[in-house]
Amino acid sequence: MATAVPLVLLILVGSMRAMKPTLLLLSVLPYSLMERLRENFDCYQQSQLDEKQAIALTPTVRGIVATGESSVTREQIARLPALEIISVLGVGYDGIDLEAAREHNVRVTHTPGLSTEDIADFAMALLLCAARQVLTADRFIRSGGWTTGRHPMTARVFGGRIGIVGLGRIGRAVALRAQAFGMSIAYTGRTPKADVPYRWCNDVQALAASVDYLVVCASGGAGTHGMINETVLAELGPCGVLVNIARGSIVDEHALVEALRDRRILAAGLDVFCDEPRVSQALRELPNVVLTPHMASTTEATVQAMLDLAFDNLATHFSGRPVLTQVN
């Protein structure tokens, strides 16, 4: 005969379940992270809530799990009176209204530093692929072109001049790799760095005019929106290559399409776009641009480390301890 469960234990278990903080998940997350979150929190997928369910949930939401592509507006934050933390799975958090989060005493955390080396590797891969025309050479062979002649010559990378827009963690990692290619290195950003030997340019236009390869590593946001515009591309010139592994919003895509189409720059390598995951037909039709689906940071090792840190930020916060990767 089964032993009856004491009433007091049932009450205790129910109380413990009720004490689980409520999380609102803004994106579909990897299964391994979802399992850990559900074990420790009451989780609700925003896309699966109807209007009534969403309204009923608003007084109880204590945490939000977002990605680098998520948007959390001032209005959303104001509607969640119990909100304490927004844990971003990713480095970028320009879709989060940090000012509103500060005003409502909401922590915002992210997962920085873990993907630096992978992103820097990928920046160089895009640079090489675009400059050396790897994709067009691949298509050249597949179409039988090699049987009738040689592929056209391409640009040399070794010993070239590279300009880095934003010399933060990723920009510095790109510079380290550029050194191995014997490249001269220049950069621009908010302020010159006293601890590097690279040449400083006080604006991106001057930087573009003095380099062969322009690699965008800057943060997104209003301060850099549309920074790589028609004028900058004109300064980069017909032998120049643009690489963007930062944020799609930093590059004026219309101006870039026109510059590539008219051969006012040689080529581009893009891992980020203005309206991800939708990439304009105009970009997709161009032969002199390499397009990848925002994958620079997505190696197995990095993604697992990011999942762990996003979870740890939540667990640490709700245990009452200070988190290490708070951004506001």
pLDDT computed for residue 90 by the predictor: 87
Please tell me the distance from the alpha carbon of residue 286 to that of residue 257, in angstroms, as a whole number. 8
DSSP 251: B
pLDDT above 50 for 137? yes
**Which of 294, 300, 317, 321 is an active site residue?**
294
pLDDT above 50 for 96? yes
pLDDT computed for residue 18 by the predictor: 53
DSSP 300: H
CB-CB contact of 217 with 123 (8 Å) = yes
CB-CB contact of 61 with 23 (8 Å) = yes
**Which of 35, 99, 103, 276 is an active site residue?**
276
pLDDT computed for residue 88 by the predictor: 95
What's the pLDDT tens digit per position in 263-277?
999 999 999 999 989
What's the pLDDT tens digit per position in 304-316?
999 999 999 999 9
**Which of 235, 247, 253, 317 is an active site residue?**
247
pLDDT over 70 for what percent of the chain? Answer: 95
Q: Where in the chain is the domain with CATH 3.40.50.720?
A: 7-114+301-318, 116-291
Q: State the SS3 of 198-226.
A: CEECCCHHHHHHCCCEEEECCCCCCCCCC
pLDDT computed for residue 199 by the predictor: 97
Higher pLDDT: 153 or 323? It is 153
Please tell me the distance from the alpha carbon of residue 211 to that of residue 40, in angstroms, as a whole number. 51
Nearest in space to 201 (alpha carbons), one of 95, 274, 214:
214
pLDDT above 90 for 8? no
Higher pLDDT: 69 or 58? It is 58
Question: What average pLDDT does the structure give for the chain?
Answer: 92
The reply to whether 247 belongs to the active site is yes
Please tell me the distance from the alpha carbon of residue 111 to that of residue 325, in angstroms, as a whole number. 7
- Mean of pLDDT values over 20-25: 96
- Mean of pLDDT values over 214-240: 95
Q: Which fold has domain 7-114+301-318?
A: Rossmann fold (3.40.50)
pLDDT above 80 for 95? yes
Q: Calculate the CA dihedral of residues 189, 190, 195, 197 and round it to 10 degrees.
A: 30
Nearest in space to 245 (alpha carbons), one of 209, 206, 219:
219
Confidence of residue 68 (pLDDT cuts 50, 70, 90): confident
Least confidently predicted of 69-73, 243-247, 264-268, 281-285: 69-73
Report the relative pairing of strands 184-188 and 199-200 from DSSP bridges.
Answer: parallel
Q: What is the CATH number of domain 116-291?
A: 3.40.50.720
CB-CB contact of 241 with 213 (8 Å) = yes
Higher pLDDT: 71 or 324? It is 71
Q: Looking up tokens 């050194």, which residue turns up?
A: 179
Contacts by 272-281 with C-beta closer than 8 Å and gap 24+?
Answer: 272/244, 272/245, 272/246, 272/247, 272/248, 273/248, 274/248, 274/249, 275/248, 276/69, 276/248, 280/253
pLDDT computed for residue 322 by the predictor: 86
Higher pLDDT: 311 or 324? It is 311
pLDDT over 90 for what percent of the chain? Answer: 85
The reply to whether 276 belongs to the active site is yes
What's the pLDDT tens digit per position in 115-136?
999 999 999 999 999 999 999 9
pLDDT computed for residue 328 by the predictor: 83
Give the orientation angle of helix 169-180 with respect to helix 116-131, to 10 degrees. Answer: 50
What's the pLDDT tens digit per position in 148-176?
999 999 999 999 999 999 999 999 999 99
226: left (phi over 0), alpha (psi -120 to 50) or beta: left
pLDDT above 50 for 205? yes
pLDDT computed for residue 3 by the predictor: 45
pTM of the complete model: 0.82
Q: Looking up tokens 């992103």, which residue turns up?
A: 119
